Chains A and B, each alone.
Chain A
Amino acid sequence: MTDIRLNRRALLSLGAGVAAAPLLGACGGVSTSGADGGKGSVTLMSNQFSPVEEKQRFEKILQQRITAEKVAFNQVETGVFASTLQTQVDAGKVQVSAVGALHGDLAQHAERLIDLDDVLAGLGDRGFAKELTDLAKLGGTTTKYIPWMQASYVLAVNKKALQWLPSGADVQKLTYDQLLAWATAGAKANGGKPIFGIPAGVKGLYHRFFQGFLLPSFTGGQITTFRSAEAVTAWEYMVQLWAQTARGSTNYDNLQDPLQRGEVLIGFDHVARLVGAPADKPDDWIMVPAPSGPKGLGYMLVLAGIGIPKGAPETDKAKDVLKALTTPEVQLDVLRQNAFFPVTNAPIPTDLPGAVALAAAAIKAQREAPNAILSLPPVGLGARDGEVGQIFKNCFKEICLDGKPVRQVLDAQATELNKILDELKIPCWQPDPAGANCRAA
């Protein structure tokens, strides 16, 4: 019986401990975002700056540069971002004052954001490019967000790989054929292990490579030319390139880790997902523009913006925060620390840290290339943005991984693509000609 009594005492102490817990939470919990989202503070929810160091650095920028308002930076995953914004606005109980995300993430919430024409009008001296402020209308006639920062995709190259660069090729002005020859030579010299990688993991942004780089470079378009003869050539090229691409690519969500580990020596990715690789030893690395194809150098613009949800608390203060975030000081701080580029005409300084300087040079060369073809992120797709991206990913899976015939896959996926586009009835965006309803010819 002693055992049983012992049990009871133990049970009592366990019970007491458990019962004490709810007392701790009597106030409904402790703030975790730096500012309690209480009166007077501005909660900025964003899916950007998710790596822990980037987040810490941006919080510091907010603290140092924005002193008039207290800003709580609330970093969330993209999925949580969308569902939080949606439920709060639809329930009419909004707790975030501002939301910052990529153009595509904000596009689906156009109806949930207030018009910001007045804020934009007050920012005439910032010198936003017209293509950015047009994008910020999200397909409507009024401004839905204020451009926040921009980026693009480039190639990061470990200098070790330069020894296999085909003769006659200029690494700063690669063509797609030279890239393939380079990757092939590198793999051969490396004992059959490919040295080129793309971010084809679940969270990787590889569809942007097809959408904004490969296809525009080969076909001059993105949607209208989706199943043209040139598109077939492009995908046939991709099959060859994939044969010389690291098999681990289907697990890469970003390329900076495999580059830093030395698993691959040449990688294509979003600059913010590349700058970690050269961070330690910038002298061992270069970053170069994406290659050119028969039609030119296709490249895609990445744009992030900040909007204000309808019914948000502290709207006036949130507008002041938006203005503060577009000042040259903040724009350049973000560039220096987190490698996102200014959306304003703030002059790029010459004393950038090594990795960022490499990225800045590559992006500048890419934009200013004489044969550049600018691709915008899809305009007006709204909630279907992800599904359209998935169509390009499906093409890759079926053509490169499953080895199905290119023509057959493109026809099947074009049908899916047109199904979505026919429902939306939107005009095309760059580089496709802006005609009536956009669809694959």
Chain B
Amino acid sequence: MKLKVQLACAAITLFMGAPLYLITLAALSSRRSLNEFPLSLLPTSLSGETMSTFLQSTGILGGLLNSLTIGLSTVALSLLIGLPAGYAMARYAFKGRDPYQLALLLTRALPIVVLSVPLARIFLDTGLYDTTYGVTLLHTALALPTTILITSAIFLGVSREQEEAAMIFGASPLAAFARVVVPQALPGIAASAMFTFVLSWNEVLGASILTLNRRTLPAQVLATLADSPLAFRFAGGLALVVPALIFIAVARRYLLNMWGTTLR
């Protein structure tokens, strides 16, 4: 059994990891070696040329800052709005629960382009156009359904008794929520934060419709990459992944946090 588990894990890691290896390899290969056939699977002709050209584009640093700001603000805002709602969905069988859930999903079911264009008009009128705030609002709206649904599924598993016990010992409902419920729901919160950040990080279309001179990093570079030679597309693809990888590495610790307490 143990051996089978190890083998299965290794097989899945190979499937998940091989494309990651290839994108790294291609991004760091010289332009010429990408045109050869057969392609080499080993790093035989490494070159940082395409990567450095790519990193010298105008607005890379500004775009990075904007993207980070928007990503983290989106995580904060969507948790602030989404956690109470997720909790309500888990704890109360209220009237209109299903329609509410459906309405939430509607926003994800419409292509972003259909939503962004009228939104750009509103933002132009209200001065939110071409600001990080505007993009944060759009991304929060896109992330809310995942945040609310995932956290509600997790809150279902948090025991009601402990929360009530805390309140009997004098904790306010808010304190009981923060000290008893949230720590136990941390994996779900981490998972939804992960989705939110990654969603915001990779969302290009809405961000490019809602901004002009203050673009996010992907909006700034993905458009130029689409028509660039293959080597640049790999370099850009890799460079864009790195920050999201760091965020996942951090969030992962919270996601797996509960293994320690459930495994005795």
Contact = CB atoms under 8 A, between A and B. Distances in A.
Nearest to A280: B32
A25 B228 contact: no
Given A25-B69, A31-B62, A50-B227, A10 B124 contact: no
Interface stretch (A75-83, A332-340, A354-362): A75-83
Given A77-B223, A91-B125, A83 B261 contact: no
Interface string A229-258: 000000000000000000000000110110
A18 B132 contact: no
Contacts of A21: 68-69, 71-73, 75-76
Nearest to A32: B59
Interface stretch (A51-59, A136-144, A153-161, A402-410): A51-59
B260 to A, nearest CB: 6
A29 interface: yes
Interface in A275-307: 276, 280
A72 interface: yes
Interface string A31-58: 1111111000001010000111101100
Interface in B217-244: 220-221, 223-230, 232, 236
B130 A30 contact: no
Contact of A59 (B58, B220, B223): B58
B179 interface: yes
Interface residues of B, number: 66
Contacts of B63: 32
B129 A25 contact: no
A8 B254 CA distance: 11
Interface string B35-79: 101000000000000000110111101110110111111011001
B133 A30 contact: no
Interface string B100-130: 0000000000000100110011001100011
B139 interface: no
A53 B228 contact: yes
Contacts of A253: 227
A80 B57 contact: no
Contacts of B133: 25, 28
A260 to B, nearest CB: 5
Contacts of B208: 76-77, 80
B226 A50 contact: yes
B131 A7 contact: no
A424 interface: no
A68 interface: no
B11 interface: no
26 contacts: A4-B183, A7-B257, A11-B182, A18-B79, A19-B76, A24-B69, A24-B72, A25-B70, A25-B136, A31-B59, A31-B62, A32-B58, A32-B59, A32-B66, A37-B212, A43-B213, A50-B227, A51-B232, A52-B57, A56-B57, A76-B208, A76-B223, A83-B209, A84-B212, A87-B120, A93-B129
